[in-house]
Chains A and B, each alone.
Chain A
Amino acid sequence: MFEAQALRSGYGEMAVLKDLTFSVKDEVFAVLGANGAGKTTLLKTLARLLPLQGGSLSLNGADVSNAPAYAMPDAGVAYVPQEGNVFPDLSVQENLSIGGRTGHRPKAEKLEEVFTLFPRLKERRGQAAGSLSGGEGQMLAVARALMQDPKVLLLDEPSAGLSPLFVDTLFSSIAETRKERGLTIVLAEQNAVKTLEIADRVMVLSLGEMHLLRPRSELEMSDITAAYHI
C-alpha cells in the first residue's frame, strides 16, 4: 500500500509534516495526535491534495509523489475529509453517484449496497445534502467513499462533532467494512479510546513529527498519553 520516505508536506512555504517515514499495509492504520499535530495534513498529502515539499510517496510500488489528486480514486484511494465532506446543493443520491463513477461494478449495484449499509440515506435520497444533520452528512461522506470501491480509505476524524452513541455505530461500521471488504483504512482521530478498539497499528503525531509507531498489541494507553505530551 502506501510507502512514505522522509515525507515533508505543508501549506505554501510552511512545512507541517517533517520527514515522516512509514508504511501502511493491509490494516487499520490509526493516526493519533492533538489539534495541530498534522493529522489532516497527512491525510491530504496521502490523497495528493497537498504537494510534497520533500521525500517520496509510493502506492503499491508506484511513485505517486507528483500524482494529481484526481488520479487517486482510479488508483483505489478514497478520501473522507473531516469538514465540508458533502456537496450541499446536490441531492443525497447525486452525491453518491459522483462517488460511483470509479470502479468497474454497475453504479446501481453499489448504490443498493450503501443503502443497505445506511438505510437512512435511502430515505433521504432525493433531499439536498446541505439539509442533512451532522451524523447523516458523515454517513453520506463515508457511503460516497465506499461507492468508489476503494482499496484504501482515508478517514479524517469521522467522529468529530457526533453524538457518542453514533460514534459507536460509526466505528462498528468501519470495523465491519474492513472485515467484509478487506479495505485498508488510514484513520486520523482524536478519540484514542475508540480508535484503539479497531486499529492494528498506531502512529502518534505531535507538531508534524512522528513520536510513536507501534502495533496495537504492543501499546498501552499510557504510551499514547506520553506521546501526546511531547
Chain B
Amino acid sequence: MDYLIFSFSLMLVYIGLAQLLHVQFGLLGIPNFGVVGFWGLGLYGTGVLYVSYSMPLIVAILLASLITAAVAYILSHLVLQRSGQAILAATLAFAAIVATLIITEKDITGGVQGLGTIGFPFADVASRNVIYFFLLMVVVVLLIWISAKLRDSRMGRSLIAIRDNEELAASLGKDTAGTKRGVFVLTCALMGLLGGLTAPLHQFLVPYLLAPSLTFAVWIALVLGGKGHNLGAMVGVFATFGLFDILIETYAPVPAEQAILLPNFKLFCYGVLLVMIIMFRPAGMLGVDGPRTRARPATTPAGDASVKEG
C-alpha cells in the first residue's frame, strides 16, 4: 500500500512537471530539455537546507524554489533569445551540469553516498504519507487549473502569439523577451518547488534521481497527450508512468526472474508509442486545443475577389 501511495505521489509530481512544460513549450514554444535540472535543484536544495542547515521543511522547499528561480533567471539571459535548437542544447547541458555538480560537490550534497534523511511533515501522524499525497494533489490540481485558465486568458493568448510569431507580437506591443523570461523563471521555480516536494517521498537523495530519463519521460508524456492541449500532459503521464510504473510493475503477473527486464520493456513501449503517435496523430492523443472554430463553408461565394484559389 505504501508503495502504491509513493507511486501515485510520484505520478502527481510528473503531472505537475508536464503541466509546467506544457506552459513553457506548448504555449510559449520554449523547448526546455533541462526539466530534471530545475527539478533536481529544488530536490537537492531542499535536501541540503533541511539536512545540513536544519531548516523546517517548508522553508527549505520555498528557499530551494527561490534558488532555482535565480539560476533560471541567469540561464534565461544567456539562452532564451537564441534559436530553439540552442535552447534545447543549453538546457540539456544545464541539467547535465547540475547532475555532475551533485556528484562532485560531495561536501555539500553527499555525492554518490547520498543525502538524508528527509522525513515527511506531520511526523506524529501514522498515515502521513497519505496526507502528503493529498497535499501534493492540491498543489498539482492548482497547477492544472492555472494552466487551463491560462489558455483562454489574455496572458495565454499573448504567449501563443509570441510562440507563433515573436516579431509580429513585438510589433503589437508585447515585450516578448521580458514575457519569455518571466514565464520561464516562474515555471522553472515551480519545477524546483515540485522537486522540493519530492524530497520527502524519496527520503534519501542519490544522484541517480537526476538521470535525464525524467526529462524524457515528461516530454514523451507531453507529446503523447498533445503539447497544445491543457489536459494532454496529464493523459500522457497516465499513459506512460501510470500504465507502466504503476499498473504493470505492480499488478502484472511477471515472473521474478523476468521482472528485471521490465524497465527496458517500458522504454521499448515508450518508443513504439511515440512513433505511432507521431505517425498517426501528430497533435497527440487529445489533439490541438485551438480556438473554438466554426465550420468553414465548403465553397466560397462566387465572384469573391478576396479568396485566392485553394
Contact = CB atoms under 8 A, between A and B. Distances in A.
A136 interface: yes
B175 interface: yes
Interface in B291-310: 291-294, 296, 300, 305-308, 310
Interface string A105-138: 0000000000000001000101110010111100
B83 interface: no
Contacts, number: 110
Interface residues of A, number: 45
B167 interface: yes
The prevalent SS among residues of B at the interface is: loop
A103 to B, nearest CB: 10
B172 interface: yes
A148 B168 CA distance: 13
Interface of B: 154, 157-158, 160-161, 163-165, 167-176, 228, 288, 290-294, 296, 300, 305-308, 310
Given A68-B175, A126-B294, 4 more contacts: A87-B161, A88-B164, A128-B290, A162-B306
A47 B165 CA distance: 15
Interface string A154-178: 0000000111011011000000000
Choose among B165, B169, B292 the residue with the greatest number of A CB atoms under 10 Å from its CB: B165
Contact of A169 (B176, B291, B306): B306
Contact of B171 (A72, A162, A168): A72
A23 to B, nearest CB: 22
Contacts of A89: 160, 163-164, 228, 288, 290-291
Given A98-B172, A127-B296, A87 B306 contact: no
A102 B154 CA distance: 13
A81 B164 contact: no
A127 B171 contact: no
A91 interface: yes
A166 B305 contact: yes
B306 A135 contact: yes
A74 B170 CA distance: 12
A49 B154 CA distance: 23
